[in-house]
Amino acid sequence: MPLPSSSKALRLALFDLDHTLLPIDSDVSWANELARLGLVDPEWQRRRNDEFYEDYKAGVLDIEAFLAFQLGPLGEHPRHRLEAWRADFLARVIFPAIHDPARALVQRHKDEGFRCAVVTATNDFITRPIAQAFGIDQLIATEVETDAKGEFTGRHKGLPNFREGKVTRVAQWLALEGLGLEDFNESWFYSDSMNDLPLLARVSHPVATNPDERLQAHAQAQGWPILELFKSSEA
């Protein structure tokens, strides 16, 4: 789709991550990695993952319960060991799943002078290197709490970056520069999920990207563009 060409305009491009820029879910994939490493019981992990994912798709996810499940293991191991496991996980699972159409979408916005940010509910420990792999420095994600020594506590800090929380967290980021969404001539948000409807409804250019069935139906009813970056997706 064509992008604005005026170099004087304030322009913003926001990108969800899982099933939007990535054809997989980095949260679910990391949980599977913990099971592969023997750090959690594989059967229990798989069952809870499936339950939370079904709740997410249905729009009824208890974000606090999910974060307790997802972040708890981070508090059980030294940070240097977690970072080594993460590096291997990213190299084997995530980086090969970054495909050219997603890279090109981001690059097109960057070339047109947009401010770009990844806006994801997935925690920043997992997603910061992924955002950087797309050449995006600004990450707005659920933040993992650390103690005085920099070790993870297994809890989140601040407002989870989920549903309405994404609107608040984006507003907080822009406010640091004295800006609000209303100050942008063009604001774009790419997402696959109905859970992101609060932020999609606030930008001037919402784009349903690889949308789930509920978001696709909503986008069609609203006349929003639908973008398919991938032929298929996997959890």
Tell me the pTM: 0.92
Give the model's confidence band at 6: pLDDT under 50 very low, under 70 low, under 90 confident, else very high.
very low
pLDDT at 1 (0 to 100): 52
Residue 5 lies in a domain: no
Which among 39-43, 64-68, 92-96 has the top mean pLDDT? 92-96
Burial of 96 (0-12, 13-18, 19+ CB in 10 A): exposed
Q: How many domains is the chain built from?
A: 1
Residue 4 lies in a domain: no
Q: How far is CA 9 from the centre of its chain?
A: 26
pLDDT at 63 (0 to 100): 92
Rounded to 5 degrees, φ, ψ at 169 are -70, -40
Residue 100, classed as helix, strand or coil, is helix
Residue 108 lies in a domain: yes
Nearest Cα neighbor of 192 from 165, 223, 214, 222 is 214
Residue 1 lies in a domain: no
> What pLDDT digit, counting tens, does each position of 31-40 carry?
999 999 999 9
Catalytic residue set:
16, 18
Give the model's confidence band at 202: pLDDT under 50 very low, under 70 low, under 90 confident, else very high.
very high
DSSP sequence for 11-43: EEEEE--BTTTBSS-HHHHHHHHHHHTTSS-HH
Residue 196, classed as helix, strand or coil, is helix
Residue 209 lies in a domain: yes
> What pLDDT digit, counting tens, does each position of 102-157 carry?
999 999 999 999 999 999 999 999 999 999 999 999 999 999 999 999 999 999 99
CATH number of the structural domain spanning residue 163: 3.40.50.1000
User: Averaged over 218-234, what is the pLDDT?
Assistant: 86
Residue 43 lies in a domain: yes
User: Averaged over 19-32, what is the pLDDT?
Assistant: 95
pLDDT at 88 (0 to 100): 98
Residue 234 lies in a domain: no
Residue 83 lies in a domain: yes
pLDDT at 124 (0 to 100): 98
Domain that holds residue 212: 11-227
pLDDT at 7 (0 to 100): 45
